[in-house]
Amino acid sequence: MSASERMRKVLSESLLTTKAEKSAAIVTSRSTVDVVLALFAFLAKENAFEGVVLCVDRPHSFYKELLESNGIDSSKVTFINVGFKETGDNVVNIGENASDLTFMKIEAVRTAQKIRIARPNAKIFMLNDAVTTLLLYNDEKIVGQFLHDINNKLRELNVYALTILEPGERIGTIVKKLADVSVELD
C-alpha cells in the first residue's frame, strides 16, 4: 500500500464518522501537498463534496493543476487567493497578504453561503492549510480567534471545516479543541 493510499485509509476511518461531525484538525509532518491531495481524493472524489480553499501559501493555479493532474475535478472548488492576483473560474482574489483575517473570514463565509444558497443540499468543505503562515502575520491569540469564529460560522452553514497543522505547533491545542475530530497523519 502506497503512502497516499495509507493516508486515504486513515482519513476514511477517521473523518465523517457521525452526522454531528463538522470539523477536523489534521496534524501531520507530511508534505502539505500530499495531505491536501489525499483530502481532496477522499472528500471530493470519493464523497462528492464541493470545496472552498483558502489559498495563502500557494495560488489557486497550483491547486487546480494538482487536482486535475490527479483526476480530481476542480470545477466544484472555489479558491480564495490571499495575496495572489489570478483570473479564472471559481477564484476570488483578496488582500495583499495574510494579515487581514477579518476580511479573509468574511470572504470564506460569503463564499460558503453562496454555495449553500445555490445548492442547499450540497456537501461542502473548507480547507485551511496555512496556519503557520497566518502566524507569521498575526499573533497566536488573533489566529485562534479567527479559527474559532470561522469554524462557528461554517458550522452554522453545515460546512465541514478542515485545518492542517504541524505537530508541536502551540496553536495546535486550540485547533484540536475547536475540532470535532483530530487526526494524526504520520
Domain that holds residue 63: 28-185
Whether residue 20 is contained in a domain is answered as no
Three cell numbers at 158? 453545515
Asked if 95 and 103 touch (Cβ cutoff 8 Å), the reply is yes
Three cell numbers at 35? 495531505
Whether residue 173 is contained in a domain is answered as yes
Whether residue 15 is contained in a domain is answered as no
Whether residue 145 is contained in a domain is answered as yes
Q: What would the pLDDT profile of 126-137 be if each residue is shown by its tens digit?
A: 999 999 999 999
Whether residue 21 is contained in a domain is answered as no
Whether residue 7 is contained in a domain is answered as no
Which residues of the chain are under the pLDDT cut of 50? none
Per-residue pLDDT at 148? 96
Whether residue 148 is contained in a domain is answered as yes
Whether residue 17 is contained in a domain is answered as no
CATH number of the domain bearing residue 128: 3.40.50.300
Ramachandran region of residue 88, left (φ > 0), alpha (ψ -120 to 50) or beta? left
Q: How many alpha carbons fall within 13 Å on the CB side of residue 125?
A: 24
Report the sign of the C-alpha dihedral through residues 11, 171, 56, 160, in that order: positive
Q: What would the pLDDT profile of 16-40 be if each residue is shown by its tens digit?
A: 999 999 999 999 999 999 999 999 9
Per-residue pLDDT at 158? 97
* pTM, to two decimals: 0.94
Counting the structural domains of the chain, the total is 1
Closest C-alpha to 130, from 164, 107, 155: 164
Per-residue pLDDT at 71? 94
